[in-house]
Amino acid sequence: MNDRLHGHYLSRTSAADLCVHYEAGATLFSSPGHTLLASGKRSILAPQSGAALADAAGALLRAARRDGEALPVLIGAVPFLADAPAHLFIPEHVMRASGPAKLPAATPQAPAARAPFPRTIAAVPDQGQYRRAVAGAVERIHAGQLDKVVLSRSLTLETEIDVAALLARLGERNAHGYTFAIDLTPDDDGRRTLIGASPELLLSRTGTRVRCHPLAGSIPRSADPQEDQRRAQGLLESQKDLHEHALVADMVADSLRPYCHSVTVPAVPSLIATPTMWHLGSEVTAQLNEPGMTSLALAMALHPTPAVCGHPAADARSFINEAEGFERGFFAGLVGWMDANGDGEWAVTLRCADVRAHSATLYAGAGIVAGSDPELEYLETSGKLRTMLRAMGLEAVLEEAL
């Protein structure tokens, strides 16, 4: 990273500058309000999981403050499974800027991110397996064993990815979401980056103000404007999708109430648009009862929501382990940051890829409820995979794989 950008706060640095100066090995997290670019790893959180994670993170931040750091920041990713280790660290250098890391499409700093044609493509589960898993989930829902379960797919491409170029393309298209590139490189292995453009905020905390924006209920967009609007209106009126969304929004509100007051949930969800999908979303707000409850502690109290797991959670996790056929890792976990005051932002790790030296694994899931159709759920996951495939310049060549 360019030495002139080192420092903990550069007021005249734009969010676009931070994206331009991203290099392999750095970590970037961008939200609609601001962007953080981190380099180096001053302190790495020892392997922790579950309820102990937030306490350990707070202790690490307090130790950094005692060592003279004015307002240290912890940044990184938390996996889907509560008992799997997170990857959180205090960087050596942090730069901040207002606004999202969006580059104008015409600038030379936003190069095309087209990856070489993959030497191999592995889909787990394959089309038939995924449709059968959805049908099996619907049977269990009708039998009263589940209310909802989220079933995912993975797509592993053997190819080389220019992470900086991919990040620029994602930022260009995701000004209203959460763009990230988290360095996951271990000391004894090749480069590894978790990169994505999530549309979903799990939780943010600023002082005592808490905000969540769960998404559930989705449909792929259409290139035809009239058909696109028909799909959006249909999503707003879909009883199946409204039920799926209510499960998530109600659970988020219920999970906040032990720690917050003035919890407010909209009476009806709103439409949220991304370049590839329409979603139903609800902005849930609350006021924190105890200022010592950090953003990460609150996020862990919510995680995993029915938007990425299902309900009841334990039964949904069991079915996911049985049906998906791959380890989710950091997909459907959390990505974000927290400072020593406990403020922070945590997005759900969606529309993402785990990029290594010679491969990239992409992920997408769909919420299964009563009335779900296996073919439509498969098409929904295909629509979600297109976020990364388009940014990689591989959408057309991979159509058959979807």
SS3 content of the chain, % helix, strand, coil (to 5): 30, 30, 40
- Half-sphere exposure of residue 189, counting CA atoms within 13 Å on the CB side? 11
Q: By the 8 A CB rule, do 101 and 15 touch? A: yes
Helix/strand/coil for 314: helix
d(CA 51, CA 58): 12
Radius of gyration of the chain (CA): 20
Judging by DSSP bridges, how do beta strands 284-288 and 277-281 pair with one another? unpaired
Cα–Cα distance list, 295 to 93, 108, 202, 215, 336 (Å) = 22, 37, 10, 19, 10
**In the annotation, is 148 catalytic?**
yes
Which among 148, 172, 324, 377 is annotated as catalytic?
A: 148
d(CA 272, CA 102): 19
Q: What are phi and psi of 388, to 5 degrees?
A: -75, -40
Q: Closest by alpha carbon to 229, among 194, 273, 196?
A: 273
Q: By the 8 A CB rule, do 357 and 160 touch? A: yes
Cis previous bond, 47, omega within 30: no
d(CA 360, CA 290): 42
Which among 102, 172, 200, 380 is annotated as catalytic?
A: 200
d(CA 26, CA 338): 17
Q: Closest by alpha carbon to 94, among 34, 154, 146?
A: 34
191's tokens: 């480069």
d(CA 402, CA 398): 7
Q: Active-site residues: which are they?
A: 148, 200
